[in-house]
């Protein structure tokens, strides 16, 4: 086991017990909200000193597999001049994932899909995977700093 994995395992063991939720979907929604906040913090770190603005936008996601059929969550918006990239949650359950975010570029009234980020529950490292819009594989690639910067190149025409 790597030193990082040992640290994360010990850290997880020291955390207070998770808040009790009335259902699995409520717990999964809370985790999805937490992971979106962590993703935004990671993006802010990656973009430190670049002049790009990172914002959050509250949205309602319709998902018929959760109680009530919808839940509120924050999406992430990156702005550079008149270019925008949005990371918007689109569903909680589906396609073998627990949490999916669509990345899209918005320029001059056109919306271009850039791909999807998938969250998998129960992952200690809180990794996201990325699939481009034309990818046939559901496995995806790790959404890391390199993948992030390749994706946001759409901000710079």
Is residue 126 exposed (0-12), middle (13-18) or buried (19+ Cβ within 10 Å)? middle
pLDDT confidence of residue 54: 92
Residue 9 lies inside a defined structural domain of this protein: no
pLDDT confidence of residue 136: 58
Instruction: Kindly state the average pLDDT of the residues 74-101.
Output: 90
- Asked if pLDDT for residue 125 goes beyond 80, the answer is no
Predicted TM-score (pTM) of the model is: 0.80
- Asked if pLDDT for residue 157 goes beyond 80, the answer is no
Mean pLDDT of the chain: 83
Residue 4 lies inside a defined structural domain of this protein: no
- Asked if pLDDT for residue 73 goes beyond 90, the answer is yes
**Contact between residue 72 and residue 58 where contact means Cβ atoms under 8 Å apart:** yes
For the chain, give the percent of residues with pLDDT over 70: 80
Query: Residue 78: enclosing H or E segment and its boundaries?
Result: strand 70-80
- Asked if pLDDT for residue 86 goes beyond 80, the answer is yes
Number of domains in the chain: 1
Residue 16 lies inside a defined structural domain of this protein: no
Is residue 27 exposed (0-12), middle (13-18) or buried (19+ Cβ within 10 Å)? middle
Question: Angle at the Cα of 55 (from 18 to 107), degrees rounded to 5?
Answer: 135
Domain of residue 126 covers 23-155
Residue 77 lies inside a defined structural domain of this protein: yes
Residue 101 lies inside a defined structural domain of this protein: yes
Higher per-residue confidence, 45 vs 14: 45
pLDDT confidence of residue 2: 67
Residue 63 lies inside a defined structural domain of this protein: yes
Higher per-residue confidence, 97 vs 130: 130
What residue ranges in 10-69 does DSSP mark as E strands? 53-62
List pLDDT tens digits, range 24-41.
Answer: 888 888 889 999 999 999
Residue 146 lies inside a defined structural domain of this protein: yes
39 three-state secondary structure: helix
Question: Angle at the Cα of 1 (from 9 to 147), degrees rounded to 5?
Answer: 80
Q: Picking from 14-28, 74-88, 101-115, which range would have the lowest pLDDT averaged per residue?
A: 14-28
């Amino acid at each position: 086991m790597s030193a990082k994995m040992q640290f994360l395992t010990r850290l997880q063991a020291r955390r207070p017990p998770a808040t009790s939720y009335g259902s699995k979907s409520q717990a999964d929604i809370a985790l999805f909200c937490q992971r979106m906040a962590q993703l935004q913090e990671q993006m802010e770190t990656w973009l430190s000193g670049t002049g790009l603005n990172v914002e959050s936008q509250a949205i309602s996601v319709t998902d018929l597999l959760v109680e009530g059929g919808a839940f509120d969550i924050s999406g992430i918006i990156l702005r550079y001049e008149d270019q925008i990239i949005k990371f918007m949650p689109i569903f909680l359950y589906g396609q073998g994932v627990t949490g999916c975010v669509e990345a899209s570029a918005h320029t001059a009234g056109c919306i271009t899909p850039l791909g999807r980020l998938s969250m998998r529950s129960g992952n200690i490292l809180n990794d996201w995977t990325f699939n481009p819009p034309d990818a046939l594989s559901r496995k995806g690639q790790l959404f890391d700093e390199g993948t992030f910067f390749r994706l946001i190149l759409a901000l710079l025409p």
